[in-house]
Structure 1
Amino acid sequence: MKNVLIASFDMEVGGVERSLINMLESFDYNNYNVDLMLYRHKGDFMKLLRGKFNILDEIEEYTTFRKSILEIFKDKKISLGLARIKARMDASKYAKKNSLEESGHVQMQRMWQFSLKYLPCLNKEYDVAISYLWPHYFVANKVKAKKKIAWIHTDYSCIDTDVIEDIELWNKFDSIVAVSEECKNSFLKKYNKLKNKVVVMENIVSPEFIRFMAEEEVEDDISKGKGFKLLSVARLSMAKGIDNGVRALRILHDKGFTDIKWYVVGYGGDEGMIRKLIKENHLEKDFIILGKKINPYPYMKGCDLYVQPSRYEGRAVTVTEAQILGKAVIITNYPTAKSQLRDGVDGLICDKSVEGIAVGIENIYNNRHLKKEIEECCRKSNYDNMEELGNIYKLFYEREKIWNR
């Protein structure tokens, strides 16, 4: 049996974490011994980790990547605390020329670079080591493995990183897995030298599991509410565009569509800004942040329309999950959007602007026949992609030539 390591940050509620759970749920444990390395054993999804894999004990130095600088110093990890300060100072210089979002990615890189010499290696050697979430420094530098694989979950054309530093990091991996063809293409526009390493594999989804979870009864069941109910499941961050959702709902209400309510399952650093925006637009009763939910599927089941107003995405797991539940969906025209759905068939793609989002919602609201056609198409479509696990296993055995489809 091959020994496999899968590494990620934690199990806070998020799309990447849900896709990791789906993969772990479906893994072939008859042929693979799997260790899961989480930098910190934290997050509501921890309770969903079950199966025949082994969760490695926390290593104190790696927990610092999910702690504040103050917490790090309180834990007497002085060198790692100083490394974090140095990373923040370095990124602040970068932020003067670029956006805060871009500088955040650079700060994450610097944080790992400056911390590496203070981080321990794993003692065990693996046949395969998978780094499931960027940045991939841990598996690249601190794990012994015959084959190393890194995952791409985002659109790299929309984020800024230190390309030279990144190339050096990516070259330590045998294969790089992108979750969609467009995600791969956007990555290669930036890192064309790595084209022989990149393969495409969709996030694993389990329709049976999603439909089962959707039947759970919840106290704040939106299906019992009045009006036309929109839903988004997303982190409250710039990338997900929830702020544009608030502005779009204001446009719709001003046009007379006052029975439309927008619910959001999620949390994140932009929550304060979004709540302020909701108040400024007098939408306190109509744009409702439900907060963090371990199980978002009853809310998907209860909505009339699922909306993903993102500024950029790799491949939004939540969109496919809503389709599995037979929901009409609207997504913005981010660069990887066409890999997500068939426009006009099992969903709609609208312009990324605030006005574009409002127009897309209005089209579905006014055309209930189109809505029913999309829903029927989703119900009849097969979104099961368990065959992707077989493609992952192929990478484990590939030696001299990168396997590609």
Structure 2
Amino acid sequence: MSTKKILIRIGSLRHGGAEKVLITFLKNIPKNKYQIDLLLNLKSGKYLSEVPDWINLFYLNEGEMITTNKPWEIPQKAYRKIYQGILKLFPKLLYKFILKKEDYDIELIANHSLLQEVLKSPVKTSKKVVWVHNDLFSIPEYKPNKLIKFFKADKIWVISDKIKDDFQKLARNSIEKEKLIKIYNPIDSDEIVNKAKEKIEFDFSEYQEKTFVAIGTVFPQKGFDRLIKVHKKLLEEGLYHKIIIVGDGYDFIKIKNLIKKLNLEKTIKMAEFQKNPYPFLKNTDYFILSSRYEGYPTVLFEALTLKKPIIATNVSGVKEILHKGELGMIVENSEDGIYNGMKKFLTDSHIPDQYIEKMNKKELPFSLENAVNSLLKILDNL
């Protein structure tokens, strides 16, 4: 039996959850089991160096992501957009001159935003797979008429029960329902524990007070603006604590300005992008997920692995990961919900201690080997 040829597409290999999951998967595939081409829209990101050497890497553009509109950046930003737009409009050019092949068995997009790219592929015989990492039903621009187009793919991989249920309700027949596959994202717990022990250039000695850490790309989805406003309110009530936000993104300056506007520079630290965020989990007291929506927030697995008490808004995937609140506090998806959760942690130390006790007693609900083997079996059966 010939080796399957697989094309995997993703925007970049920056520090997002989808990127981390993809790299973990690729690193754990047996070498030479498949012929894999990995195509990036932008060759950039912390995970580039972790791509296995047996995987063929292609890209449309290279360099860092441009998130601002500074005058000197506009020409390059415009060039990238036009160039990628042309290749999207005329995909045969991409397959002929960049990939130089049109005989893939499977084409998989690891980011839902590339749906049209995979559907317009000139390789008519390949199986088209869409890996959905976000709760698209909670994103305003994803209306039913847009979401229904996902059923044009051969398979839709979803990462939470909620996302699968929502797609099933949208499906028009049993054939479309059968396209949905619930998968488990591979998480390397040993890597998390080992990296958490590494020394980084950050002075944690300044954080003797109870400290919450939030980790994620800085944009509206993550709700850091809500977290900051709640922090201000709790301080005004005399509940002193600190917050560290780890990550960057196009909302970074806006969030930093909000911190300055509310005079919170002494109690909130924007740690920016960190190649290794795990020491922040290890060296702070609590982890908080303030997101407005998610797909399956793998950062919660990382916090569980390091036995960190968790407060999380009730977004997709949270109930599954935290076992309906047994392993962490699930709060209403609002400022009030975040406020109530943080206040409980700050006023009653027994609450976070009880979560640690439960985490220590319970086997964590994921396995790297099982998740990878499950994905390999799905690919083999396509």
Equivalent residue for 1:141, pick from 89, 105, 120: 120
RMSD: 2.8
Ranges in structure 1 where 5+ consecutive residues have no aligned partner: 85-111, 400-405
Cα deviation for residue 129 of structure 1 reads 2.1
Q: Is the 8 A contact 1:64 1:72 kept in 2?
A: no
Cα deviation for residue 288 of structure 1 reads 1.1
Calculate the TM-score normalised by the size of structure 2. 0.86
Number of residue pairs aligned between Structure 1 and Structure 2: 364
Calculate the TM-score normalised by the size of structure 1. 0.81
Q: Which residue of 2 aligns with 1:398?
A: 381
Q: Which residue of 2 aligns with 1:389?
A: 372
Residues 184-215 of structure 1 show CA distances to partners (whole Å, capped at 9, x for unaligned) of 22334445553221111121101011111111
Q: Which residue of 1 aligns with 2:243?
A: 262
Q: Which residue of 2 aligns with 1:128?
A: 106
Cα deviation for residue 30 of structure 1 reads 4.6
Cα deviation for residue 236 of structure 1 reads 1.2
Q: Which residue of 1 aligns with 2:332?
A: 351
Q: Is the 8 A contact 1:36 1:53 kept in 2?
A: no
**Is 1:39 aligned to 2:41, yes or no?**
yes
**Is 1:70 aligned to 2:53, yes or no?**
no
Equivalent residue for 1:307, pick from 248, 265, 288: 288
**Is 1:332 aligned to 2:340, yes or no?**
no
Cα 1:339–1:143 change in 2 (3 A) is: farther
Q: Is the 8 A contact 1:22 1:206 kept in 2?
A: yes
**Is 1:24 aligned to 2:7, yes or no?**
no
Q: In structure 2, how many angstroms separate the alpha carbons of the residues matched to 1:119 and 1:230?
A: 49
Q: Which residue of 1 aligns with 2:253?
A: 272
- One-letter amino acid of the structure 2 residue matched with residue 377 of structure 1: K
Cα deviation for residue 118 of structure 1 reads 8.2
Cα deviation for residue 64 of structure 1 reads 12
Q: Is the 8 A contact 2:91 2:122 kept in 1?
A: no
Q: Give the share of equivalent positions with the same residue, in percent.
A: 26
Q: Which residue of 1 aligns with 2:59?
A: 58
Q: Is the 8 A contact 2:297 2:317 kept in 1?
A: no
- One-letter amino acid of the structure 2 residue matched with residue 252 of structure 1: L
- One-letter amino acid of the structure 1 residue matched with residue 58 of structure 2: D
Cα deviation for residue 69 of structure 1 reads 6.1
Q: In structure 1, how many angstroms separate the alpha carbons of the residues matched to 2:65 and 2:284?
A: 36
| Partner SS state of residue 126, structure 1 | coil
Equivalent residue for 2:301, pick from 313, 320, 328: 320
Q: Which residue of 2 aligns with 1:100?
A: none
Equivalent residue for 1:184, pick from 149, 161, 164: 164
Q: What are the equivalent positions in structure 2 for 1:55-204 lying under 5 Å apart?
A: 55-59=56-60, 70-71=75-76, 73=78, 80=83, 115-116=89-90, 120-121=94-95, 122=99, 123-135=101-113, 136-142=115-121, 144=123, 146-159=126-139, 160-161=141-142, 163-164=144-145, 166-168=147-149, 170-191=150-171, 194-204=176-186
Q: Is the 8 A contact 2:38 2:58 kept in 1?
A: no
Q: Is the 8 A contact 1:236 1:266 kept in 2?
A: yes
Q: Which residue of 1 aligns with 2:70?
A: none
Q: Which residue of 1 aligns with 2:192?
A: 210
- One-letter amino acid of the structure 1 residue matched with residue 94 of structure 2: P
Q: Is the 8 A contact 2:312 2:318 kept in 1?
A: yes
Q: Is the 8 A contact 2:192 2:278 kept in 1?
A: yes
- One-letter amino acid of the structure 2 residue matched with residue 395 of structure 1: I
| Partner SS state of residue 178, structure 2 | coil
Ranges in structure 2 where 5+ consecutive residues have no aligned partner: 68-72
Q: In structure 2, how many angstroms separate the alpha carbons of the residues matched to 1:317 and 1:265?
A: 15
